[in-house]
Structures are given as structure tokens and as C-alpha cells.
Structure 1
């Protein structure tokens, strides 16, 4: 995970879009092939095509599109594309006889190299239709000719869109399967899909969309090798690889020169600068539903595909760190106050004072909270705030970034937990192992950092907030398999069960074990 989001990868994606949007796209002007029949006869030497007309083809084409809409992944895009081009059969006319369509089908046949089921892309059907056009006796009459033209166009357009979208954006939208996913993630839109259909050089386009992220290539190589990771079966290893390859296809990767990234299953924070980790440290993340690893890719259950996040799980998100607050007050969330703090206060009337927690009602501090009957108190009746100090659960500093989950990076007085191997222990925020080092990296040698260091060493009774001169992007991610700086594949337990959720939605698109075994033997 250390450098799996290299700046180069994003640069490549940008270049890919430029290529797809400009260098290899046909003119958008509508075509008119009044000599359709003559052109097809010249290309096929089949006399049947002599009587073919654009008008005759259009009737059959429209009817077939209407009947097959339910079988297409993007019926509206395909319909718009052909409507705007007067139902011109661009793949038949421009891409069969130069070998482009056969070549495209070859790419589809190799989809197993991406862990995907080649059958989704109908390569065999496409090749059979192409062969009919190249055999001057295969198509017997004009009705059959029109049907075959329309069928080849629809099949090729649909498969090309499916393949392009899969490699450039992933098969599954993370926003649709995860309840706590708040990362900006680009999905295919009409502009990108129409650009795909308008590509004039199919080989150049298909080469341009092949993922070239070093992390992706490393996982792909491992998948093709077909081995088993230590302590896992071959099948479980393959599942780890394909779900993390899918994550790498999602368009949610950092592109900035400097950013902070937290990988939840690795319990680690890195500050990335120019593609390299400039600072790293252990972190403690929110408690998950699968901390004992009972939900497993090894023995997948169909019910796992439903995301049931534990209330304390840290969300996946991206934002920008804009400030640090030294000696913060902890505004205790109502859920923690009612389920934990108030329960302890009911057992010990001096618990709150000993923990430095003040009680407020209607915005005013309660002078004698030890007299409150916490057993009969209602949720939300009181507000609880923990004063700055050595016992404050946020420690001496927290790093602020906007998000709708009320999470942040912060210090903690409970330092011993960093020695544990399983560190999904918090209420949802991310506790950082070396907050002063993180502050030094973010603020640099500035008066603001000097203030932070001084105030953390000498706690003040009220918080001090210091703004960053330049906001720093922060990404909280979930990756369970990656290649480290030494080229070694790393695997981590699926602490939140999110691999299982993703696999459940992804598996209908995946290559079967026989296909992967065949590829591994090549």
C-alpha cells in the first residue's frame, strides 16, 4: 500500500482520457452511406449486398435494438450513438475488413488476465459473425444481411462499452455496495462511453485503457501465476487478488504531489510525497464487525454481500486537512455518552470529575453532576465534554478535515494499544502513533509548529487551533492486498468484511477457476 497510488498512475489515466477524447476519435458529423450496398459488395464479393440500402438497414436495426434493449448494459448510449449517425454500421464498414473487430475480440478473450469472465464480452459470437462477412457465400439473402449487420454492430458496441468501462472504472460502483463510502469516485458517463464508440483506432484505444499502475500489474502477475499465499488456499488467494484489482480500477486514487493516506486493514498512515512515503506510522482505527476474521473469503457465504457496518467502523473517505487543534475539548458523541460514559457515571458519582468531563444541560454547565440520577436520564438530555488534559481521549492534538462522519486524526493517551497487531479498537476516529511527527511534516519548520510542540508539552486549559497555510489532502482507504516497496505481496485480514461484500457483488463477473488455471499454465 506504500506507493500503490503513485502519481504516475493518475497521470496515465489523464493521458488515457485525452487519447480517448481526442487523438483517436472519429468525427462527430453524421455519416451518410448512400453507396452502402456497393461498398459492402466490394468488401465481401457477396452479391446479396448489392441491393442493400441505408434505409432498409435502418428499419431492421431499429427493430433489433428495441428487441434487445433488455440484454444491453447501456441501451440508451448505444441507441443515441446510432441515432446520431443515421444507423451507420461503423464496425462493419470501418473495422471488419482491416482486422480491427477480430483484434478487439482477441482482447475480450483475454479478459481473464484481469480476473474477469471473458464470456461477458461475447468474443466468440462476434468472431463468428465476422467470419460470415468474410465468406462470400455465408450470407444468403438481404434480410439475413441486414440482421447480421445489426447484430454485429450491437454486439460489438455493447461488448466494447462493457470492456472499456470495466478496465477504466471497475465492474462495481463502491457507492452502491458500501454504506460508509464517501470517496470521490468517477464513474462512466455518456461522454466517456460515446468517445469509446467513436474510437477510430481500436487497437490504440484498447491499449490505452489497459491498466498500467505498477500495483495492478503486480497483482495481475500474481493472479496469472496461480499460486497460493502463505496460510491461504489457492482459491482464497485468487479472491484476494481479484477484489483488490477491482479496487485499483476504481477512479478514486490520489493525484496530488503530497497527501496523507490511511489504509484501514494495515492500521497504517503514510504521508506520500512525489509517489514515495515520506513519513509512516501505526494507527488505531474504528472497531469492525469482523475483527476475529469469522467472515472469510475462504468460505464465502452469499449473505456477506450485504454491507452491515458496525457502528464504530471508520468510513472510507477523502477530504482535506485544514487545521490542527492542540489540547482539544472532546465533545462526546451522544451515542458514546449514553451507552458508555453515563453508565459509568451511574456506577461511580465521581467518575466524571475524575475523567475531567463536564456536563451541560440546555447549553449551561451543571455544577453538581454527581447528584444526577443517570439511570433515569434520557439520551440527549445532557451534553458531555471532556476538558483538555492528560486523560482527554483525543490526547494532545487532533487534525481537522471536513466530513459528514465526525471523524478526524488524533492523539491518544492509550499508547499501549499501538503494540497490538489487531488495532481496530476506536469509536471510529483514527488515532495516530506519532502525532507530533505528523504535525511537523504538515506544518514544517514554522512558528505554528513551534506553538504545537510547546502547547503539547505544556497543556493549556483551552484549545489552540492552528490553520495550515495549504490544505493537505487526506484519504482513508481499505486495501487488503498490495505489493510493498521490496516487491513482496502483502495480505491483511478483512477486518471490516468489506472484501466479502465486494466479492459478493463482483463474483458474477469473474473468470472461473478453470479459466484462471488455463491462463496460469500459459
Structure 2
């Protein structure tokens, strides 16, 4: 109960003692005023009101005990350091909160402080655990559904915790990825404060054998970035070529050791541009809340890869082709669960492709796309000779289109299913030439895999003794066969222009769909700023 309120007591906040002059009324009257203030202030937030009603209006923050003091201290310390998480300090207005605490003189004042601290806790808790932004409001291709912690449960859990500092720390993602991104954020901020990586490279192409001031600029930039040991060379020698290759690997570029336009453009990116990518990646990591336990599949759209992780360790990687950078083809971002694979799949042509691409072709030539069967509403194959395609459009086209299993099937010889409303899946493809390209955004939205058979073996390795033999026995039947996964696997289709690996430099990729630029704009609009400055 609040009968222990004293005429004055002390807040320990960020290492300072802030004295509060409180009421001089009788304890019972004071407690009534305190409860009334809480009820009034909490009424504007249903969750806060629910919590305090259930808690019989007892204080969480403003009591005189050591635990109350520890809670206050832990919260203010966390709010002072929100920028460590790429969150905007102005959003939480910790100075106003501390001033409100310092200026409290009555029981009513104290009740208002109590609710203000709870509201600040809940805002911070939501932001740091699952992100500030609502993904779908930023770009319609970010269809990720963010799991938000129940606010009443969050404050209840905090109130029941004997270790408030630890509770607040564990609200943020604990994934190795998040922790490494935080480390990179700090490194970049220090670099910016020191003037960055020096002058940009004033050239559109440099290659082995070149020499002169432009090569020196390239050398100095790569040394400053950590891709090359100190050197006095003015020639594009083997050491510089290896440094360029290392940079190209870390930035998803063609690894040829030649500093062409694309490579130089990336080398000339400033630390603040990279910091924006890191801060966006931190917000994105908060949206997912990955467990890093068991098996999971990660498809990074900007990296054009599909990877399998087991307990956080990379166990398989293959190149991918993703959706073309067009409004109706960009691959969406979401998470789901892989349930099965289909060997020798039939391609059921999506209606948008059938009506927008194939119907115009058949209107010009009824026999166009002859590898596809037309199926009527009763499931019968239709003879094209009896169809006048000119009478149909995107709205009234009455047929389904299918391609039988086979080597020329658009889905290749296997597809991997995590049924979802976006009709996205992973699959093989007969168009193998695209995997050799640096930028691999060509599909209608689904994810094509460079090594689909090896991907299948990896998935089957958990449930059969000889996954390769098991797979090919079913493949050689030439019949469509569904193979269920005994343990379903989380699939995360993500979009990261900055991501980390356990060893080596942070990986940076180009913003192929422009989504990260939109997220950064939204973060900046909320008050996120770049600490450090370019000299």
C-alpha cells in the first residue's frame, strides 16, 4: 500500500538524486489523491487503466522501496540510451520526464508521475522489442505481420521482475545479428566523427596495371575501410586487386578484381549512407523476432540468396532469382512455414500471368504458348481451335492454364511450398543463365533457386537416411509427387541492405526495390538522426 509515502523521498536517476517534495496531508487522504490521479491519467490509455485497476492502484515506480528506485533508475538509464538502438531520443522526452519527477510536490503530482513512467515504459518496450514503424504502412510489398507483445502483460511482467535492469535489456532482440548490427552502428558513428573514409575515388573504372592519383585514391579508400593493409603503392598491383575483390565479396558485386563503375559507386558510398542501412536493418530485425533455434530458411531479396540455418549456423547457401523491380512483380516480405515440396510439379499459371501475358499472345496467334494446356471450369482440357480469344479480356477469361511436369516446366523439377495468400514459393527453373548475373531480379515474384536439388537434399536430411537417393527415386517417376516435411521449417523472406556474418566485414547490398529508402525516411520522420558527422 501507499501508506508509506513520506513528506520527502529520493529518486535515484541516471546517477543523480532528484528530491521530490510531496504532500503534507494525512496518509489516507494522500493515497486517495494518488489513486485518483492515476485513474485520471490512465483513463486515456485502456491498457494502462486495465493494469492499474488490476494492481489496485499500487505504485510500480514511485514507492519508497529499493525495487521502486531500481525500476526508476533502470528505465531512465534505458531511455537515455535509446539511440544505441537507433531509436530517436526526442520520442521519449526523457528530460521532460525527469523534470516532472523532480517537480512533484503532492500526492496528485506523484500519481501523474507514476502513469507517465508507465506510459514511457510501454512506448519504449514496444519500440525496442518489435519496432516503431508499421511495415505495411511504408511499402505495400512489406506484408510482414509483426508480433507485438501484449502491453498489459509487459508491464505486469516488469512489475513482477526482481531484476528491472535485466528485464529492460531483454526487451530488445537478443539475436547475434542485432548485437552485431549495434556494434557496426557504433563503428560507423566513430568513423563519421573522425571524417569518414577520406576523399572519394574520382574515376569510373580502374583495373590492374593502372597507376597514378586515381589509383592512390582507390588505395587510400580501401585502406581506410579495412580491406587493405597500409601501402605506398601508386600502381594497381596484386595487393590492390585482392582488396578490390574482398570489397566486392562484402558488397555482393561480381568478384573480378576490376574497379568498374558499379564497384567504384559502392566504394564511394559514405559512412552515413551505410549507417542508414544499419539503422534500417535494426528496425527490420525488431520486426522479425527470430529465435535462432532449430532450422530456418532465410531468403534475402537484396542479396539474391536462399540460406538454411541450423541453430543460427549457416548450413546451406544457394543463389536465387527474385521478383523483377516492377510494381506487380516485386517479391513481398513476410514469414511463413514450409510444409512440403513437390517433385515434378505442374505449373498452375497465375491468373495475372495468364490474362496479362498469354492471352494477348493467343489473341494474335491461337497456338502461341502451345506448351500450356487450357482447362475449363469442369477440369477438362480445351481444344484451342474452337476458341475465339478475341472475345476475352483480363476480367472474363474463363480458363485456367497449366504446364505439365517436365524439364521445360517453368517451375523446373521441384518446388518448395509454404502456402500463403501471396502465392509465393521457392522453385527450380530451366532458365539457369540468370544465376550468373550480379543483379538477379527477373521473376514474377517467386524465388528461383540455383541449386534446388541440393536444397531438397538439405531439407530431407533430417528425415531420411539417403536424401539424394530418396529424392531421385521420386524424380525419375516423372509423376507429380508431394513430399511432406516431418518438421515444418520457418521461412523468412527478408530485405536487408546491411546484414552481418559471424566473421568478416558487415555485408552491404543495393536497395534494389527502394524499400530501405522509404523506411529510412519514415525513421527520420520519427526523429531518428545520424550521430557523428562527416568531416
Give the TM-score category using the shorter length: 0.7 to 0.9
Are 1:77 and 1:194, in contact at CA under 8 Å, matched by a contact in 2? no
**RMSD of the TM alignment (CA)?**
3.2
Q: How far off its partner does 1:336 sit?
A: 0.5
Residue aligning to 1:230:
267
What does residue 452 of structure 1 align with?
Answer: 471
Closer, same or farther: CA 408–223 of 1 in aligned 2, 3 Å: same
Summarize the alignment of residues 176-187 of structure 1 with structure 2, pairs less than 5 Å apart.
177-181=138-142, 183=144, 185-187=146-148
Q: Does residue 315 of the first structure (1) align with residue 332 of the second (2)? A: yes
Q: Does 1:203 align with 2:165?
A: yes
Task: Write out per-residue CA displacement over residues 261-294 of structure 1, whole angstroms, 9 at most, x where no aligned residue.
Answer: 21111110111122211111001112234xxxxx
Instruction: Pick the aligned partner of 1:343 from 329, 340, 360.
Output: 360
Match of 2:407 in 1: 390
Residues 79 and 94, structure 2, Cα contact 8 Å, conserved in 1: yes
Map residues 388-467 of structure 1 onto 2, 5 A cutoff. Answer: 388-444=405-461, 446=465, 449-450=468-469, 452-454=471-473, 456=475, 458=476, 460=478, 462-467=479-484
Does the 8 A contact of 1:161 with 1:196 survive in 2? no
User: Which range moved further: 61-70 or 119-128?
Assistant: 61-70
Q: 1:82 to 1:390 in 2, by over 3 A?
A: closer
Query: Does the CA contact (< 8 Å) of 1:89 and 1:149 recur in 2?
Result: no
Distance 1:420 1:221, change over 3 A: same
Find the partner of 1:159 among 106, 120, 142.
Answer: 120
> How far apart, CA to CA, are the structure 2 residues paired with 1:486 and 1:507?
31
Match for residue 218 of structure 1? 180
- Give the corresponding residue for 2:2: 33
Q: Which has the higher mean CA deviation after the structures are superposed, 430-439 or 84-93?
A: 84-93
Distance 1:68 1:468 in 2: 49
CA distance in 2: counterparts of 1:315 and 1:43, whole angstroms: 52
Note the 1:148-297 alignment, pairs <5 A. Answer: 148-174=109-135, 177-181=138-142, 183=144, 185-189=146-150, 190-225=152-187, 226=189, 227=191, 230-289=267-326
Q: Do the aligned partners of 2:8 and 2:21 also contact (CA within 8 Å) in 1?
A: yes
Per-residue CA deviation, residues 306-357 of structure 1 (Å, 9 max, x unaligned), is: xxxx22222223333333222221111111011111222233343232xx21
Q: Partner residue of 2:63?
A: 93
Which whole-Å deviations, capped at 9, do the CAs of 1:113-165 have from their partners, x for residues lacking one?
112122322322333344457xxxxxxxxxx4234312321222221222222
Question: Mean alpha-carbon deviation: is it higher for 441-450 or for 146-155?
Answer: 441-450
The question of whether the paired residues in 2 share the 8 Å contact of 1:171 and 1:246 is answered with: yes
Cα deviation for residue 481 of structure 1 reads: 0.8
Aligned partners of 1:165 and 1:243: how far apart in 2? 17
Give the 4+ runs in structure 1 shifted more than 6 A: 42-48
Is the counterpart of residue 120 in structure 1 residue 70 in structure 2?
no
1:82 aligns with 2:49: no
Change beyond 3 A, Cα 1:381–1:210: closer
| Alpha-carbon distance in structure 2 between the residues aligned to 1:218 and 1:468 | 32
CA distance in 2: counterparts of 1:466 and 1:263, whole angstroms:
25
**CA-to-aligned-CA distance 1:340-394 (integer Å, 9 cap, x gap):** 11222233343232xx211122335455314533232234312211122232111
> What is the CA-CA distance between 1:499 and the residue it aligns to?
1.7
- For residues 103 and 452 of structure 1, the distance between their equivalents in structure 2, rounded to whole angstroms, comes to 55
Task: Give deviations 1:178-212, integer Å, cap 9, x for gaps.
Answer: 54555563202121233234545432323333544
Secondary structure of 1:473 counterpart:
strand
2:36 matched residue in structure 1? 62
The aligned residue for residue 14 of structure 2 is none
* Structure 1 portions without partners, runs of 5+: 1-31, 134-143, 290-309
Other-structure match for 2:246 = none
Q: Say if 2:66 is the partner of 1:51.
A: no
Is this contact kept in 2: 1:160–1:197, CA < 8 A?
A: no
Task: Say which structure is richer in helix.
Answer: 1
Q: Cα gap change, 1:318/1:113 in structure 2, threshold over 3 Å: closer, same or farther?
A: closer
Q: In structure 2, do the counterparts of structure 1 residues 369 and 256 end up closer, same or farther at CA, with 3 Å as the change threshold?
A: farther
CA distance in 2, matches of 1:506, 1:122: 17
Q: Work out whether 1:493 is the aligned partner of 2:510.
A: yes
| TM-score relative to the length of structure 1 | 0.76
User: Once the 2 structures are TM-superposed, how far is the Cα of residue 492 of structure 1 from its aligned partner?
Assistant: 1.6
Q: Which runs of 5+ in 2 are unaligned?
A: 12-18, 197-265
Using the alignment, how far apart are the partners of 2:471 and 2:10 within structure 1? 76
* 2:528 equivalent to 1:511: yes
| Equivalence for 1:107 | 78
- Of residues 107-116 and 189-198 in structure 1, the stretch that sits farther from structure 2 once superposed is 189-198
1:221-257 superposed Cα distances (whole Å, 9 cap, x missing partner):
2222324683323432222111111112224415441
Shift in CA distance, 52/263, structure 1 to aligned 2, threshold 3 Å: farther
Distance 1:211 1:362, change over 3 A: closer
> Does 2:394 align with 1:375?
no
Deviation, structure 1 residue 395:
0.9
Contact 2:130 2:289 in 1 (8 A): no
Counterpart for residue 303 of structure 1? none
Change (3 A) 1:107 1:42: closer
Q: Distance in 2 between matches of 1:234 and 1:371?
A: 64
- CA separation in 2, counterparts of 1:401 and 1:42? 58
Q: Answer yes or no: is the 8 Å Cα contact 1:102–1:130 preserved in 2.
A: no
Q: How high is the TM-score relative to the length of structure 2?
A: 0.74
Measure the CA separation in 2 of the matches of 1:254 and 1:90: 30
